[in-house]
């Protein structure tokens, strides 16, 4: 059970701007382990996460997935702002093949959002949206959670609960954590890769990963975001 990249090429394009992110990259991300990919800022962490979740396709090469892979933790773009929280969550559960009823019940209780669950998502305050987004991903029993820099979030009491929920998930599921922070990956991960110069390389330890990149190219952080944004307000057709 894993995500396997075989000779993957990916270039991002915007008008005349072309940024190669991966060139002939091969790697395996096991679904039953906590794996850290250490990467400098701007090197393509979000692109790698998007290739893993299937949001992006490779330009060339092959990506195979034989486990249930999450959407990236706290990814706001996954929620449509014009739908209610409940409608968004029901849609997500069905896409991933789960009965929405118990999962939505869990999210309402855990995120402590009450009646806000039935209001359009873009009318909620940032704190309510943040609590729903973090709870949503961890409430769905994925086999492999994809973390693009941010692991936990929300304010005060919710942050504590979120950390406990993550610890519980880490006991039963795999995580692929892509980050520029050696301390975040060193704290949680058991095996490591480095993303640099458009390639993915295994590393023996977080120290080895950090030495390969150089501490001055990295940005330490704890993977915590008090609030997250990025709701998709596109009208439904």
Ligand X SMILES: Nc1ncnc2c1ncn2[C@@H]1O[C@H](COP(=O)(O)OP(=O)(O)OP(=O)(O)O)[C@@H](O)[C@H]1O
Interaction between residue 46 and ligand X (CB under 6 A) = yes
Vertex 13 angle, CA 10 and 15, to 5°: 165
Min CB(234)–ligand X separation in Å: 18
- In this chain, which stretch among 42-50, 60-68, 119-127, 228-236 interacts with ligand X, using CB under 6 A? 42-50
| Distance, CA of 88 to CA of 2 (rounded, Å) | 28
Which one of residues 10, 45, 129, 131 is an interface residue with ligand X (CB under 6 A)? Answer: 45
8 A C-beta contact, residue 23 and residue 196: no
In the three-class reduction of DSSP (H, G, I as helix; E, B as strand; rest coil), residue 129 is classed as: helix
Q: How many CA atoms lie within 13 A of 27 on its CB side?
A: 27
Please enumerate in sequence order all residues whose Cβ is within 8 A of that of 39, keeping only pairs 6 or more positions apart, or say none.
45, 48, 178, 179, 180, 194, 195, 196, 213
User: Which one, 13 or 115, has the nearer CB to ligand X?
Assistant: 13
User: Which one, 103 or 200, has the nearer CB to ligand X?
Assistant: 200
Interaction between residue 216 and ligand X (CB under 6 A) = no
| Distance, CA of 174 to CA of 186 (rounded, Å) | 16
Interaction between residue 44 and ligand X (CB under 6 A) = yes
Which one of residues 19, 57, 64, 234 is an interface residue with ligand X (CB under 6 A)? Answer: 19
| Distance, CA of 236 to CA of 56 (rounded, Å) | 21
Interaction between residue 42 and ligand X (CB under 6 A) = yes
Q: What is the total residue count of the chain?
A: 237
Interaction between residue 141 and ligand X (CB under 6 A) = no
User: Which one, 56 or 96, has the nearer CB to ligand X?
Assistant: 56
| Distance, CA of 162 to CA of 153 (rounded, Å) | 7
Interaction between residue 20 and ligand X (CB under 6 A) = no
Min CB(15)–ligand X separation in Å: 8
Interaction between residue 53 and ligand X (CB under 6 A) = no
Which one of residues 3, 8, 21, 107 is an interface residue with ligand X (CB under 6 A)? Answer: 21
Interaction between residue 115 and ligand X (CB under 6 A) = no
Instruction: Annotate 80-89 with b (16+ C-beta within 10 A) or e (fewer).
Output: bbbbbbbbbb
Min CB(48)–ligand X separation in Å: 7
User: Which one, 77 or 141, has the nearer CB to ligand X?
Assistant: 77
| Distance, CA of 55 to CA of 92 (rounded, Å) | 14
Which one of residues 3, 8, 38, 47 is an interface residue with ligand X (CB under 6 A)? Answer: 47
Count the residues of the shown chain that bind ligand X, applying the rule CB under 6 A. 14
Give me the residues that bind ligand X (CB under 6 A), please.
12-14, 17, 19, 21, 39, 41-47
């Amino acid at each position: 059970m894993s995500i396997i990249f075989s000779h993957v090429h990916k270039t991002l394009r915007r008008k005349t701007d072309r940024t190669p992110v991966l060139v002939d990259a091969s790697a395996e991300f096991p679904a039953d382990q906590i794996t850290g990919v250490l990467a400098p800022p701007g090197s393509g962490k979000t692109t790698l996460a998007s290739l893993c979740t299937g949001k992006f396709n490779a330009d060339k090469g092959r990506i195979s997935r034989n486990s249930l892979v999450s959407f990236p933790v706290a990814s706001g773009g996954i929620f449509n702002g014009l739908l209610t929280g409940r409608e968004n969550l029901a849609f997500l559960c069905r896409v991933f093949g789960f009965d929405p009823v118990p999962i939505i019940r869990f999210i309402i209780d855990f995120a402590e959002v009450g009646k806000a669950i039935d209001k359009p998502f873009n009318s909620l305050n940032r704190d309510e949206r943040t609590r729903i987004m973090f709870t949503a991903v961890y409430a769905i029993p994925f086999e492999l959670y994809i973390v693009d820099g941010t692991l936990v979030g929300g304010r005060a009491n919710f942050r504590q609960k979120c950390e406990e929920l993550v610890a519980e998930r880490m006991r039963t599921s795999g995580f692929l954590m892509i980050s520029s922070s050696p301390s975040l990956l060193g704290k949680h991960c058991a095996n490591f890769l480095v993303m640099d110069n458009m390639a993915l390389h295994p590393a023996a330890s977080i120290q080895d990963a950090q030495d390969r990149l150089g501490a001055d190219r990295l940005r330490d952080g704890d993977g915590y975001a008090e609030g997250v944004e990025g709701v998709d307000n596109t009208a439904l057709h």
